Amino acid sequence: MNALAEVRSGWTLPGRFYVDPGIFAAEFDAIWRGHWLFAGHSCEVSAPGEYFLLEFGNESLILVRGNDGRVSAFHNVCRHRGSRICDEASGTLTHFVCPYHQWSYRLDGSLRACAGVDRELALDARELALVHARVEEVGGLVFVSVAESPIPFEDARTELTPLLAPQGLEDARVAARRTYTVSANWKLVWENNRECWHCHVGHPEYIRANYDTARRGDATTAELESRAKQLRERGLDVDHADVGLATFPSDGRWWSANRTPTVPGFVTESLDGRPVAPPMGSYDGHDVGTLRVRVLPGLWCHASADHVVTTRVLPVGPRETQLEVTWLVAADAEEGVDYDLAGLMPFWQLTSEQDWALCERNQRGVVSSGYRPGPLSLSRERNVAAFLEWYRVAMTRNPLGDQAPGARVTSL
């Protein structure tokens, strides 16, 4: 049966889209192997030889800064007999050595040495370089694609670059990181992220700082317009000055970014609204609103003047998702002097963990035989509908994924 034919526009997905191993296998091939994925931050590989691994499903990629200053990505697979090369999640190396038979590779992926191989084989080293994946760096964020012909990235770069430029993420440092395995399908995680109808009850700390909830009225509107005017007078491009979440594009784009004001008294996303670190990048003060970036299927980001919080989304299985939350500050900010984690982390740690609990609760419901798709609010859940339409189109383009071991592949 064609599963996508069951999807009703403006309604939630049928239950099997959140549990079926065959659908998950198809998603992995069409979306996670087919799209640009957020890998990490430029500052994590700021010097030649610095690397980190990105692992999802059966894929393991090495992201490394080369001697030419560029970031490259290679499949973490030796060209000799396919052994994994790197096990450490990050580090600094002058070259890569496979621990199995000591084949070695330069930072550009080229074969460096393969001692012990029979000379009569007359191997061509150019044919034995590590297998590349495509990489794009924009505004201090690193994206990777394992697709043979990735979807074009240039339009995303054009839109994201000027918005990210004042944040100075290229010159940031990782202050803290928390990794969670959430017992919920990755789509439920994104659906939750794409609406703030749940925020009044679910995020009491978050709503004190932001205008994302559906509260309206002349006083609130006037306040928001005044806040937006103040930021624009400081030369900041405020492109969302309305109550509620900015509308996610419905024209096929898989990225969006906007700057929006915070409520009076909150110059950063902290519990009390007061600064938690020195300003980053080219900001000359703390009151800059928040910069939000979303790149499907693997990233959302909230950036204040003094810190940035990124959330990386990676699928684990039909009912599990890995979420990596990272806090970044200016590169020269010193912990214990310029900032402390007790002030920096709680706002987004609380908000994130509240969301994970909501997603797990949602997953427990959609697996029930009593679950039926429900209608989405046109005003409060329009971005959920936009996400599900993006998903439907993405799956239609490449409807049948590689069959996972033991998976029942469902026709999409």
Closest CA to 71 of 33, 113, 109, 104: 109
405 contacts: CB under 8 Å, gap ≥ 6: none
pLDDT number for residue 248: 87
Q: How far is CA 185 from the centre of its chain?
A: 15
State the Cα–Cα distance between residues 185 and 182, nearest whole angstrom.
Answer: 8
Residue 6 DSSP one-character state: G
72: amino acid identity, one letter: S
Q: Which long-range contacts (CB under 8 A, 24 or more apart) does 281-287 make?
A: 281/165, 281/166, 281/167, 281/168, 281/169, 281/171, 281/330, 282/165, 282/166, 282/168, 283/166, 283/167, 283/168, 285/234, 287/230, 287/231, 287/234, 287/262
pLDDT number for residue 408: 41
pLDDT number for residue 1: 43
End-to-end CA distance of the chain: 8
Per-residue pLDDT for the chain (412 aa), expressed as one digit of tens each? 488 889 999 999 999 999 999 999 999 999 999 999 999 999 999 999 999 999 999 999 999 999 999 999 999 999 999 999 999 999 999 999 999 999 999 999 999 998 777 665 667 788 899 999 999 999 999 999 999 999 999 999 999 999 999 999 999 999 999 999 999 999 999 999 999 999 999 999 999 999 998 665 566 888 899 999 999 998 898 888 888 899 988 778 999 999 999 999 999 999 999 999 999 999 999 999 999 999 999 999 999 999 999 999 999 999 999 999 999 999 999 999 999 999 999 999 999 999 999 999 999 999 999 999 999 999 899 999 999 999 999 998 754 333 333 334 344 5
State the Cα–Cα distance between residues 302 and 174, nearest whole angstrom.
Answer: 15
pLDDT number for residue 405: 36
User: What is the layout of strands, in order, in the sheet containing 132-138?
Assistant: 37-41, 141-145, 132-138, 71-75, 59-65, 50-56, 90-92
